[in-house]
Structure 1
Amino acid sequence: MSERVVPDGERRRRRPTKRGTVLSEQLIVDTALRLIHEHGAAALTVRRLGAALGADPSALYRYFRDTDDLLLAVADELIGRTLRTWRPSGEWRSDLRSLGLRIHADYLAHPRAALLTFTRVTGRANEMRSVDMILGILRGAGFPDAEAVRIYHVFVDQTLSFAAIDAAAFTLPEENRELEELAWRERYARLPAGTHPHVAATAPVLVAEMGRSAYPAALEMMLSAAAARLAHLRGPG
């Protein structure tokens, strides 16, 4: 898509597609997310979207300025899916843990979309709600504003970075993933103690650990550091 601004009144018009489907922003976003999941970034063209929707590609301009505008809507939809399923407990550390794990899992459910969106700031409703919600959790726990913002920044960047790392691994061809797993089992696990004593001593644990995401452990380390910081700020007693 190229830049093409359509008046708001025109954007609100609803006309059935050739298949009789009434277009909406949500339908277009859901279709784009599905196409990205199946085909990657190459799917994000008006021609492919129009074909998938059974609509004239020009109709998409009623809802989005260009493909980047649509990509931001896709990014915001991923956030929204997390918010619609996550429920707080009222305990800040438990809430950040469950929220982080939920975000990570939802991104891995759409690894190609995750790789396209994890660095983007959408400026849309779901993202704004999530920023306010996380800051509220931290401020409610007693973190001063500057500390709450800093921990929010670390929490979000850590979560999205690990989601991107794990999504990249998910999108590797099956053969490449198998070769990487084999390298840990067949090469590292068999290194002799004489040349690689620390790998040899930890080999069973190392092989098991490298076969899973490091995000849960990294999240616990971050939460422990935040809890220690909060205890320090509160002082003795």
Structure 2
Amino acid sequence: MTERVVPPAERRRRRPTKQGVVLSEELIVATALRLIEEHGAEALSVRRLGRALGADPSSLYRYFRHTDDLLLAVADELIGRTLRDWRPTGDWRADLRDLGLRVHSGALGHPRAAVLSAYRVTGRAHEIQAVETILGVLRGAGFPDPEAVRVYHAFVDQALAFSALDAAGAALPKPARDAENAVWQATYARLPAGTHPNIAATARHLVADMRHSSYPTALEMLLSAAEARLFEIRGRA
């Protein structure tokens, strides 16, 4: 896709496509998300999208200027799905934990799209809502504005980094994933204590733990550090 664009008022296609559907941004994004999961980054082409939608590829320019514009819309859709049925409880730590786990789970549900988009800043409606929501949780908990931003930054970067890391693993073919998991049992669990005492002492824990994401543990560590910082701030007030 190139830098062409149609004014918003003229974007909506009024006639059904060959498959009997009316094009919309939502339909294009949903189709792009499905194709990315099926075919990877190469799915983001006008020709492939047009074929999947039963539409003339040029009609996509009514909605998106180029493929990167579409990718940002896909990234924003993933954020929107995270927030869709989330409701705050008033417990800032529980609320952030829930949000973080939702971000991570959403990435694992669409691993190829997450790998492509986890590091992007969309500036779109769902991302703006997420930034507003998380900052609201932190400010409501009593974090001063500079601290709220620091914790927000660490929280979001941690969630997205683990999302990209674990999504990349989930996007591997199953035989490759199984082979990597088997290394902990086949290699690490057999290293002798004489040469590798620390690995040998913890081998059974490595075998059990390393096949799972460490994000929940890392998230709890971050929340504990944030809570300790909030206690410190309150103690000085």
Class of the TM-score when normalised by the shorter of the 2 chains: over 0.9
Structure 1, gaps ≥5 residues long? none
Tell me by how many angstroms 1:86 deviates: 1.9
Partner of 2:8: 8
Partner of 2:84: 84
What's the TM-score once normalised by structure 1's chain length? Answer: 0.97
Partner of 2:196: 196
What's the TM-score once normalised by structure 2's chain length? Answer: 0.97
Tell me by how many angstroms 1:8 deviates: 2.2
- SS for the counterpart of 1:23 is coil
Superposition CA RMSD, Å: 1.1
Alignment of 1:17-56 (within 5 A): 17-56=17-56
Work out the percentage of aligned pairs sharing the same amino acid. Answer: 70
Distance of 1:213 and 1:8 partners within structure 2: 42
Partner of 1:233: 233
- SS for the counterpart of 1:78 is helix
Q: Quick check: 2:13–2:22 contact (8 Å CA) kept in 1?
A: no
Partner of 1:127: 127
Q: Quick check: 2:13–2:24 contact (8 Å CA) kept in 1?
A: no
Q: Quick check: 1:45–1:67 contact (8 Å CA) kept in 2?
A: yes
Deviations 1:63-91 (A, max 9, x none): 11111111110000000001112222110
Amino acid at match of 1:108: L
Distance of 2:54 and 2:176 partners within structure 1: 36
Alignment of 1:95-174 (within 5 A): 95-174=95-174
Tell me by how many angstroms 1:182 deviates: 1.3
Q: Quick check: 1:17–1:23 contact (8 Å CA) kept in 2?
A: yes
Tell me by how many angstroms 1:172 deviates: 1.5
Q: Deviation above 6 Å: which 4+ runs of structure 1?
A: none
Distance of 1:233 and 1:125 partners within structure 2: 33
Q: Quick check: 1:118–1:164 contact (8 Å CA) kept in 2?
A: yes
Q: Quick check: 1:14–1:24 contact (8 Å CA) kept in 2?
A: no
Amino acid at match of 2:32: A
